[in-house]
């Protein structure tokens, strides 16, 4: 090897890290709008490829054999994971965070074991390793639990017991206390084991009191823990791209959790400790109010006579995979000169951007998608609102019922439109488990059935295929 070969490789590594960091930042920028999201994904993939290639050029790599095996195993696991249906994306994301947390905890443990006999555990290194192992360990087991709850392999309801928060916080405090002692006396290896075990146990205990439906918010919080674990790992390995990517990951996960909490009008503490989703006595089984129900033909008649229509999609549209039928209705009504818009609530469905992704899949034009605050201004002048499998995000109780668990959550004011068509299978409640007075309002027509089927019938009526129209 020529004497100048090492510096050149080093330069190339640093240059590719710089390119990777720039691409990650651009990726986040582009991912924030549907029209540039594809470019954002490509930039993220490009950034990761640059980071991996740069690392492979690293002059101190001892052998490529293990790396090749790890990449083959990772690819073999990653390819099937990339093919899961959209409804399973939250649990797939949780699994990715679990792997990230595991990687951080393993790297931290390996570095501790390597540096301990060599006496190279400085205060800085031991602190970074302790943070990495605590965050990595709890992210690993916490994310596995979150994925299990979403996949319904573990019970989805919150499991609570007396003194739970105290026990959890005490465990965390013992782990942090042990970490401080370890930094002072790095040769006390048993403290390292205590930290590792407690962080793994804490991850499980943190998640069990949280209801399955709150998992998307928790997952984005775990995303930010995984990011912070990567930052700590970057300090341990003195790797700049890990520090940058981890910081971006950590902060974007945190911002997303804040946005989701705000959109549900819930605090972090309520999501983490509120045991939301427990069966609420009485609320769902209140006295039955009379509702006006009609057929797909009735709905089609209402729609045809409207000049403005707003569609409010919700979780039921995702369950029914009805986005393509929604698109057909959009086409039919637009063809008749009717103004059709889509009202997007930030937490409609079960993951951030759920409705945007489904509507984009059905190629609904982006400019027809309107955010909650903007559409609410137009709703009192709107002729017909079509609520497709949405419930909580259009529940007027959020505005006036102080006893309601969703009181204060911003909603789409579907009840303020001149008429409302609500499509769902039954009078069952949605995620929050509460009745919705929108369904019994005078200007609401319920059309019961699976959203895909009902919308398909409405399309048939609009195209005249249903006969007699």
Is 43 a binder of ligand NAP (CB under 6 A)? no
Question: Across the chain, how many H-helices and E-strands are there?
Answer: 17, 6
Residue 280, Cβ density class (10 Å: 0-12 exposed, 13-18 middle, ≥19 buried)? middle
Is 425 a binder of ligand NAP (CB under 6 A)? yes
Annotated active-site residue 4? The verdict is: no
Find the shortest distance in angstroms from Cβ 57 to ligand NAP. 40
The answer to whether the beta carbons of residues 280 and 434 sit under 8 Å apart is yes
Nearer to ligand NAP, 20 or 219 (CB): 219
The Cα 344–Cα 372 span in angstroms is 6
User: Which 440-459 positions form the footprint of ligand NAP (CB under 6 A)?
Assistant: 450-451
Nearer to ligand NAP, 225 or 315 (CB): 315
Catalytic-labelled residue, pool 214, 249, 392, 457 = 392
The answer to whether the beta carbons of residues 270 and 263 sit under 8 Å apart is no
The Cα 28–Cα 195 span in angstroms is 34
Residue 212, Cβ density class (10 Å: 0-12 exposed, 13-18 middle, ≥19 buried)? buried
Find the shortest distance in angstroms from Cβ 281 to ligand NAP. 19
User: Which 139-198 positions form the footprint of ligand NAP (CB under 6 A)?
Assistant: none
The Cα 440–Cα 433 span in angstroms is 17
The answer to whether the beta carbons of residues 213 and 350 sit under 8 Å apart is yes
Number of chain residues interacting with ligand NAP (CB under 6 A): 34
Nearer to ligand NAP, 168 or 217 (CB): 217
Nearer to ligand NAP, 151 or 334 (CB): 151
Find the shortest distance in angstroms from Cβ 171 to ligand NAP. 26
410 Rama sector, left if φ>0, alpha if ψ -120 to 50, beta otherwise: beta
Q: Which of 75, 82, 403, 426 binds ligand NAP (CB under 6 A)?
A: 426
Find the shortest distance in angstroms from Cβ 366 to ligand NAP. 19
Of all residues in this chain, which one has the CB nearest to ligand NAP in the complex? Answer: 430
The answer to whether the beta carbons of residues 307 and 383 sit under 8 Å apart is yes
- Phi–psi pair at 457, nearest 5 degrees: -65, -35
Q: Which of 194, 205, 222, 320 binds ligand NAP (CB under 6 A)?
A: 320
Region of 19-27, 156-164, 223-231, 388-396 interacting with ligand NAP (CB under 6 A): 388-396
The answer to whether the beta carbons of residues 318 and 216 sit under 8 Å apart is no
Find the shortest distance in angstroms from Cβ 125 to ligand NAP. 38
User: Which 78-107 positions form the footprint of ligand NAP (CB under 6 A)?
Assistant: none
Nearer to ligand NAP, 347 or 459 (CB): 347
Find the shortest distance in angstroms from Cβ 431 to ligand NAP. 4
Is 439 a binder of ligand NAP (CB under 6 A)? no
Region of 46-54, 126-134, 169-177, 344-352 interacting with ligand NAP (CB under 6 A): 344-352
The answer to whether the beta carbons of residues 279 and 314 sit under 8 Å apart is no
Nearer to ligand NAP, 134 or 422 (CB): 422
The answer to whether the beta carbons of residues 283 and 435 sit under 8 Å apart is yes
Is 213 a binder of ligand NAP (CB under 6 A)? yes
Q: Which of 105, 311, 432, 441 binds ligand NAP (CB under 6 A)?
A: 432
Nearer to ligand NAP, 234 or 316 (CB): 316
Is 424 a binder of ligand NAP (CB under 6 A)? yes
The answer to whether the beta carbons of residues 226 and 139 sit under 8 Å apart is yes
Nearer to ligand NAP, 230 or 414 (CB): 414
The answer to whether the beta carbons of residues 28 and 252 sit under 8 Å apart is yes
Region of 15-23, 45-53, 291-299, 429-437 interacting with ligand NAP (CB under 6 A): 429-437
Find the shortest distance in angstroms from Cβ 14 to ligand NAP. 38
Nearer to ligand NAP, 120 or 371 (CB): 371
The Cα 330–Cα 324 span in angstroms is 10
The Cα 299–Cα 420 span in angstroms is 9
Bridge partners of 444, per DSSP, are 420
The Cα 411–Cα 373 span in angstroms is 9
User: Alpha-carbon torsion 355, 429, 452, 367, what sign?
Assistant: negative
The Cα 397–Cα 394 span in angstroms is 9
Q: Which of 47, 352, 410, 433 binds ligand NAP (CB under 6 A)?
A: 352
The Cα 369–Cα 376 span in angstroms is 13
List the structure tokens of 456: 């398909």
User: Which 238-297 positions form the footprint of ligand NAP (CB under 6 A)?
Assistant: 260, 264
Residues lying near ligand NAP in the complex (CB under 6 A): 213-214, 216-217, 260, 264, 314-316, 319-320, 347-352, 354, 389-393, 423-426, 428-432, 450-451
Query: Which active-site residues does the annotation give?
Result: 392
């Amino acid at each position: 090897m020529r004497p100048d070969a090492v510096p050149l490789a080093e330069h190339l590594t640093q240059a590719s890290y710089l390119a990777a960091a720039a691409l990650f930042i651009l990726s986040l920028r582009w991912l924030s709008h549907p029209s540039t999201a594809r470019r954002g994904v490509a930039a993220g993939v490009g950034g990761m490829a640059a980071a991996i290639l740069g690392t492979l050029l690293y002059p101190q790599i001892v052998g490529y054999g293990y790396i090749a095996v790890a990449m083959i195993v990772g690819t073999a696991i990653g390819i099937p994971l990339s093919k899961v249906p959209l409804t399973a994306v939250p649990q797939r994301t949780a699994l990715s965070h679990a792997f990230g947390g595991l990687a951080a905890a393993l790297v931290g443990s390996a570095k501790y074991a390597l540096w301990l006999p060599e006496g190279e555990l400085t205060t800085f290194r031991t602190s970074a390793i302790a943070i990495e192992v605590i965050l990595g360990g709890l992210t690993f087991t916490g994310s596995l639990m979150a994925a299990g709850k979403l996949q319904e392999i573990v019970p989805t309801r919150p499991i609570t017991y007396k003194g739970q928060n105290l026990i959890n916080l005490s465990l965390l405090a013992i782990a942090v206390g042990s970490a401080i002692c370890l930094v002072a006396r790095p040769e006390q290896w048993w403290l390292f084991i205590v930290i590792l075990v407690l962080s793994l146990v804490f991850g499980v205990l943190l998640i069990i009191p949280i209801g399955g439906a709150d998992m998307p918010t928790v997952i984005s919080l775990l995303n930010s823990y995984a990011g912070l674990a990567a930052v700590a790992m970057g300090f341990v390995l003195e790797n700049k791209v890990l520090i940058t990517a981890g910081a971006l990951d950590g902060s974007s996960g945190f911002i997303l959790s804040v946005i989701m909490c705000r959109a549900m009008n819930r605090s972090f503490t309520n999501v983490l400790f509120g045991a939301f989703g427990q069966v609420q006595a009485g609320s769902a089984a209140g006295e039955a109010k009379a509702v006006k129900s009609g057929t797909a033909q009735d709905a089609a008649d209402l729609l045809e006579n409207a000049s403005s229509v707003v569609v409010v999609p919700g979780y039921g549209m995702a369950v029914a995979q009805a986005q393509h039928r929604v698109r057909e209705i959009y086409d039919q009504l637009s063809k008749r000169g009717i103004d059709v818009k889509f009202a997007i609530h930030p937490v409609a469905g079960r993951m951030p951007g759920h409705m945007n992704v489904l509507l984009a899949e059905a190629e609904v034009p982006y400019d027809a998608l309107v955010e909650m605050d903007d559409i609410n201004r137009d709703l009192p002048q709107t002729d017909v609102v079509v609520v497709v499998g949405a419930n909580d995000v259009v529940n007027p109780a959020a505005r006036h019922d102080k006893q309601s668990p969703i009181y204060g959550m911003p909603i789409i004011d579907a009840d303020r439109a001149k008429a409302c068509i609500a499509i769902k299978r039954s009078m069952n409640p949605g995620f929050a488990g509460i009745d919705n007075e929108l369904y019994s309002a005078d200007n609401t027509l319920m059309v019961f059935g699976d959203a895909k089927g009902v919308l398909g019938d409405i399309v048939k009526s609009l195209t005249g295929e249903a006969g007699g129209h």
